[in-house]
């Protein structure tokens, strides 16, 4: 029987219908409104989620040609994320499930990024190491089972995507900055400016992106207005190369430590072309498999939540009536 999944942890309002690992529909409504603020504004995101969640669920059911009465469970992101945003999806999901006595599956968002790799077509199976990088998270997940993962290393400060967005903003690009920065960087020389590869001497697997951001502030200040304009593409290329290098060097270190047979990527930053190529080169060099899910399953979506829910304990009615969302930590 089909199941419904709902995801509202950040600025995308998402609903999907799955039949096992098969996606019947995967609807994503991205909130373009945050562009003018240069970043996600929690209150603005929550207002849009309230408007969009119902319509997005309706469209997901219609596209899947599934009626509410056909559903066997409802999965929803319970955290981590923006608490006010999470509460829209969770309140809606609980209220849909309760009158029909359906089980509710509160799902971990990061587990969702991992579980995107279990979806048809071409699912992979554990063990593998998953690099998850987006505007909200940057971590290496060691996946040895379907229902969980171990954090091998995560960022000490900014997320990779957050750093990219801030850099894009400094260079006068729009929000979200990733695709624009990548496009600009394509015309630049990454060797023109020196950017630090943070944590390169740290033997662990932790990330840090705040120093990189500061470095860009200094480069821009040293150059002055006119010269920045002239070197925008070089700055973008240098910055992007430093982000990619840090991500890939930590991934390489994870592969040195353990004989992982496969690598997977998740999160919005995983849509970045140079990152994908660098990871592909690394996997070829090590002769291990690389799993690249399509972009719409990399960025936040509800199909990945439905996939994670298949390996997450369900709460039977009425156990979940008092269930609450969590902003950080929690689920695992």
Partner 1 sequence: MRIIGFDTATDDTVVGASVDGETVFKLVIPPGPEGRPVHSESLLEAVTGAAEAAGGWARIDRIAAGTGPGTFTGIRIGLATANGIALSTGIGLAGVSTLSALALPMLGPGHATLALLDARRGEVFAALYGPAGESLREPFVCGPEDLASHIGEFGPELLAGGPGAVRFSEDLDRAGVSIADPEADVHHLSAGSICELGATADPESLSNPLEPTYLRVPDAQLWLERHGRKAGP
Give how many residues touch partner 1 by CB under 8 A.
38
Pick one of 22, 32, 95, 227: the residue that binds partner 1 (CB under 8 A): 95
Q: Does position 7 bind Zn ion by CB under 5 A?
A: no
Token pair recorded at residue 77: 């992101």
Per the CB < 8 A criterion, the answer to whether 299 and 58 are in contact is no
Pick one of 43, 222, 258, 284: the residue that binds partner 1 (CB under 8 A): 43
Pick one of 252, 261, 324, 327: the residue that binds partner 1 (CB under 8 A): 324
By the 10 Å C-beta count (0-12 exposed, 13-18 middle, 19+ buried), 60 is classed as: buried
Pick one of 29, 111, 134, 138: the residue that binds Zn ion (CB under 5 A): 134
Distance CA 77, CA 79 (A): 6
- Position of tokens 């690598």? 263
Distance CA 101, CA 99 (A): 6
Alpha helices in 144-209 (DSSP H): 160-170, 178-185
Token pair recorded at residue 226: 């006119």
x/- track of binding to Zn ion for residues 292-331 (CB under 5 A)? --------x-------------------------------
Q: Does position 107 bind Zn ion by CB under 5 A?
A: no
Token pair recorded at residue 78: 């319970």
Q: Does position 87 bind partner 1 by CB under 8 A?
A: yes
Phi-psi region of 273 (alpha: psi -120 to 50; beta: other; left: phi over 0): alpha
x/- track of binding to partner 1 for residues 280-319 (CB under 8 A)? --------------------------------------x-
Nearer to partner 1, 296 or 324 (CB): 324
Per the CB < 8 A criterion, the answer to whether 274 and 182 are in contact is yes
Q: How far is CA 91 from the centre of its chain?
A: 22
Nearer to partner 1, 173 or 275 (CB): 173
Nearer to partner 1, 49 or 253 (CB): 49
* C-alpha dihedral, 97 to 99 to 102 to 104, nearest 10°: 30
Q: Does position 327 bind partner 1 by CB under 8 A?
A: no
Distance CA 177, CA 101 (A): 43
Q: Which residues pair with 146 in a beta bridge?
A: none
Pick one of 21, 30, 38, 282: the residue that binds partner 1 (CB under 8 A): 38
Site stretch for partner 1 (CB under 8 A), options 20-28, 41-49, 120-128, 134-142: 41-49
From the list Zn ion, partner 1, none, partner contacted by residue 123 (C-beta under 5 to 8 A by kind): none
From the list Zn ion, partner 1, none, partner contacted by residue 300 (C-beta under 5 to 8 A by kind): Zn ion
Strands 22-30 and 74-79: unpaired
Per the CB < 8 A criterion, the answer to whether 79 and 8 are in contact is no
Q: Does position 325 bind partner 1 by CB under 8 A?
A: yes
From the list Zn ion, partner 1, none, partner contacted by residue 318 (C-beta under 5 to 8 A by kind): partner 1
Give how many residues touch Zn ion by CB under 5 A.
2
Per the CB < 8 A criterion, the answer to whether 119 and 21 are in contact is yes
Tell which positions 47-76 bind partner 1, by CB under 8 A: 47, 49-51, 53-55, 57-58, 68
- CA dihedral over 190, 192, 196, 197, signed as positive or negative: positive
Nearer to partner 1, 121 or 329 (CB): 329
Alpha helices in 65-153 (DSSP H): 83-97, 109-115
From the list partner 1, Zn ion, none, partner contacted by residue 56 (C-beta under 5 to 8 A by kind): none
Question: Residues interacting with partner 1, by CB under 8 A?
Answer: 36-38, 41, 43-44, 46-47, 49-51, 53-55, 57-58, 68, 84, 87-100, 318, 321-325
Question: Residues interacting with Zn ion, by CB under 5 A?
Answer: 134, 300
């Amino acid at each position: 029987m089909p199941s419904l999944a709902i995801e509202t942890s950040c600025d995308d309002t998402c609903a999907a219908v799955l039949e096992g690992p098969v996606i019947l529909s995967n609807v994503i409504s991205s909130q373009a409104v945050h562009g003018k603020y240069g970043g996600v504004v929690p209150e603005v995101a929550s207002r849009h989620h309230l408007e969009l969640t119902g319509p997005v669920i309706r469209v997901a059911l219609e596209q899947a040609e599934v009626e509410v009465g056909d559903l066997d469970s409802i999965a929803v992101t319970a955290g981590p994320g923006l608490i006010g945003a999470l509460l829209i999806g969770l309140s809606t999901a609980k209220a849909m499930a309760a009158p029909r006595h359906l089980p509710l599956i509160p799902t971990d968002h990061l587990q969702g990024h991992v579980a995107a790799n279990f979806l048809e077509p071409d699912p992979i199976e554990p063990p593998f190491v998953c690099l998850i990088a987006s505007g909200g998270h940057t971590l290496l997940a060691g996946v040895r089972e379907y229902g969980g993962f171990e954090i091998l290393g995560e960022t000490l400060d900014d997320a990779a995507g957050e750093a990219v967005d801030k850099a894009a903003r400094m260079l006068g690009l729009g929000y979200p900055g990733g695709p624009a920065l990548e496009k600009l960087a394509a015309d630049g020389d990454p060797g023109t400016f020196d950017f630090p590869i943070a944590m390169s001497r740290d033997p662990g697997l932790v990330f840090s992106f705040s120093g990189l951001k500061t470095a860009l502030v200094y480069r821009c200040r040293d150059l002055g207005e006119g010269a920045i304009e002239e070197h925008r593409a070089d700055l973008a290329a240098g910055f992007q190369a430093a982000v990619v290098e840090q991500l890939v060097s930590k991934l390489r270190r994870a592969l040195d430590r353990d004989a992982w047979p496969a690598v997977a990527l998740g999160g919005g930053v995983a849509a970045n072309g140079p990152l994908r190529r660098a990871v592909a080169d690394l996997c070829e060099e090590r002769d291990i498999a690389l799993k690249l899910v399509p972009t719409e399953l990399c960025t936040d979506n509800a199909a990945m939540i439905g996939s994670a829910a298949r390996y997450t304990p369900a709460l039977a009615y009425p156990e979940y009536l008092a269930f609450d969302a969590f902003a950080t930590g929690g689920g695992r």
